[in-house]
Chain A
Amino acid sequence: DTGVSQDPRHKITKRGQNVTFRCDPISEHNRLYWYRQTLGQGPEFLTYFQNEAQLEKSRLLSDRFSAERPKGSFSTLEIQRTEQGDSAMYLCASSLSGGPYYEQYFGPGTRLTVT
């Protein structure tokens, strides 16, 4: 079990550019979550997939954000026309369905800096 992996670990981009992050969940997990964490705050929920279906989106997920999980395995999170306010740690988590308490396992995160 290799755990949840995220790529890249760090991304520096200029305002207005598009960026894409990848998350590979634990292989047998069919649920996948994206969170955003800004400095000094706890993670905030962005969106959630069960298999390939995106079942829930936060109001934090503006039109510039899009997430996909095309084959129910890895997921991508794209931010278009990045703004300085998008600078944050983007965390991915996965979990089993039907588990006793839906424990979520987190990846190491992708730290985005928008200059």
Chain B
Amino acid sequence: AQKITQTQPGMFVQEKEAVTLDCTYDTSDPSYGLFWYKQPSSGEMIFLIYQGSYDQQNATEGRYSLNFQKARKSANLVISASQLGDSAMYFCAMREGTGAGSYQLTFGKGTKLSVIP
């Protein structure tokens, strides 16, 4: 089974509108972290936001917020007031556990976001 599922291969959003990118995850470990990264066409992965499994509140970072629904195992990224520079691939990733073998990130296949002027 896929550990990270991103069901939207591509999304379009009008400039200045909000957009939600979906991510569901699968783990049996009670301790985990969820990350969102942005990958522009240049290739570099840019960290956006993090949510820990024990965090009580949804994470926010500027225009980015994470809609964390633990029971549904979903961690959707919300981008408010979209800008042309937001056009990129967006990846959801998970780190499971807290032990020595838990540092690797498992990524989804990504969603390509295109912002329309």
Residues of A within 8 A of B (CB): 31, 33, 35, 40-45, 48, 55-56, 58, 89, 91, 93, 95, 101-109, 111
In angstroms, how far is the closest chain B Cβ from the Cβ of A69? 14
**Size of the chain B interface, CB-CB below 8 angstroms:** 25
Beta-carbon contact of A48 and B103 below 8 Å: yes
The binding surface of chain A is classed by DSSP as strand
**C-alpha gap A89/B43 in the complex (Å):** 9
Residue of A nearest to B46 (CB): A106
* B100, A42: Cβ atoms closer than 8 Å: no
B42 within 8 A of A: yes
Contact B104 A33 (CB under 8 A): yes
A42 with B91, Cβ < 8 A, contacts A103-B47, A106-B45, A108-B42 known: yes
Chain B neighbourhood of A44, CB < 8 A: 107
Number of A-B contacts (CB under 8 A): 61
Q: A55–B100 contact, CB under 8 A?
A: yes
Residues of B at the A interface (CB closer than 8 Å) are: 4, 33, 35, 37, 42-47, 50, 52, 91, 93, 95, 100-101, 103-110
Q: Which of B46, B91, B95 contacts A43 (CB 8 A)?
A: B91
Q: Do A40 and B43 have beta carbons less than 8 Å apart?
A: no
Among B44, B95, B100, B110, find the residue whose CB has the most chain A CB atoms closer than 10 A.
Answer: B44
Give the distance in Å from the alpha carbon of A27 to the alpha carbon of B4 in the complex.
31
Least Cβ distance of A25 to chain B in Å?
14
Residue among A33, A43, A56, A91 with the highest chain B CB neighbour number at 10 A: A43
Query: Do residues B33 and A101 form an inter-chain contact, with CB atoms below 8 A?
Result: yes
- Whether the pair A33, B93 counts as a contact (CB closer than 8 A) is no
Given contacts A33-B103, A103-B50, whether A108 and B108 have CB atoms under 8 Å apart is no
Report how far A95 CA is from B105 CA in the complex, Å: 12
Choose among B50, B91, B104 the residue that contacts A56 (Cβ–Cβ < 8 A): B104
